Amino acid sequence: MRHQVVLQENKSLREYNTFAVPATARYFIEINERDELQGLVDPQQYVPRPFLVLGGGSNVLFTRDFEGTVLKINIKGISSSAEQDGEVLVEAGAGVVWNDLVRFCVEQGYAGIENLSLIPGSVGAAPIQNIGAYGVELKDVFDSLEAFDILTGEFRKFTREECEFAYRDSVFKNRYSGRFVVVSVRLRLSTVFRPNSSYGAIEVELRKRGIQRPGIRDISEVVSAIRVSKLPDPSTIGNAGSFFKNPVLSDEEFNRLRKKFPDVVNFPMSDGRVKVAAGWLIEQCGWKGKKIGHTGTWMNQALVLVNHGGATGKEIYALSQDIIASVHDKFGVILEREVHIV
């Protein structure tokens, strides 16, 4: 069967990126159904390469126009099936808004992703960078995903092991970068709720609300409230959430850093390494709430770069360069961008 794709030309991407920076796609295709992806490799159709897969546009910074074809993935649908021992498999299309999936699971009483409430973006983007927040990462509940291979034109299933998850990383950001389009994601959740409230300010917020035995909805609401208090709304000010990864240091590297800076905010990891709060490092360098031209950092969270209106991607990228340099000069730590740069 032939799968016709509708190729749009010279498409503005301003409304498709949460930084709201100006950029144009030479070609643009919306993918609404799984099988439409096969039209990308149909020899009877001309779909210019390279491809750039776009979900919610909440983890990308355009510093230039894109001369290939942007694929906007809109594949929807959420389904669930009971497993043994209180487990449930939940599958969602790549185009589902991530927080819509979280809300569905909370309403159904499926536990495991409530700590990931209000993370912006789509379901399809979640495994690409192994999203995480408040002590939980996607890999903790991940079962498998289906992806379309642009090289072979075939669909393929990936298990958790095959995704090679790491901190904000996966095989799709490295060896398979640009080759696969995520179609759907399957999570293994639980009908038995065990609250994970030890990370960040969750316990503090629960106490403020007088909640001693939190349920799944309580955790979701508290996490959402914390995020709203710290992070700007992309609908009112352009941003992509956390712009940098938290640096991960060896125990030796961290001890050297702590000798000079005893107050450094850190999170010990199970493998003996230590994650250092990038927001703290940036704030100590005087960047929090600072405005540079049309861009700057958010007043409540130095980890977030913002577009105050009229900023270009190049301006925001230049600001990130300056921040990286100042953190390295002061702490000897190199920050790595979490946001995908085009």
**Residues 91, 114, 146, 338: which is the catalytic one?**
338
Q: Do 129 and 338 contact (CB within 8 A), yes or no?
A: yes
Q: Check the CA dihedral 165-145-193-120 and report its sign.
A: positive
Q: Do 193 and 201 contact (CB within 8 A), yes or no?
A: no
DSSP bridge partners of 169: 166
Is position 320 annotated as part of the catalytic site? no
3-state secondary structure of 12: strand
Axis crossing angle, helix 98-108 with helix 216-230, rounded to the nearest 10: 150
3-state secondary structure of 167: coil
Q: Do 229 and 299 contact (CB within 8 A), yes or no?
A: no
Is position 79 annotated as part of the catalytic site? no
Chain mean position to CA 150: 22
3-state secondary structure of 27: strand
Instruction: Dig out the tokens for 230 from the structure.
Output: 């710290």
Cα–Cα distance measured from residue 70 to residue 110, given in angstroms and rounded to the nearest whole number = 34
State phi, psi for 210 to the nearest 5 degrees.
70, 25
**Residues 58, 144, 168, 186: which is the catalytic one?**
168
Is position 177 annotated as part of the catalytic site? no
Chain mean position to CA 94: 13
Cα–Cα distance measured from residue 160 to residue 183, given in angstroms and rounded to the nearest whole number = 15
Please provide the DSSP assignment of 80-103 as one string.
EEE-STTEEEEEEETTSBHHHHHH
**Residues 122, 170, 184, 242: which is the catalytic one?**
242
Amino acid at 188: R
Helix, strand, coil percent values for the chain (each to nearest 5): 30, 30, 40
Catalytic residues: 168, 242, 338
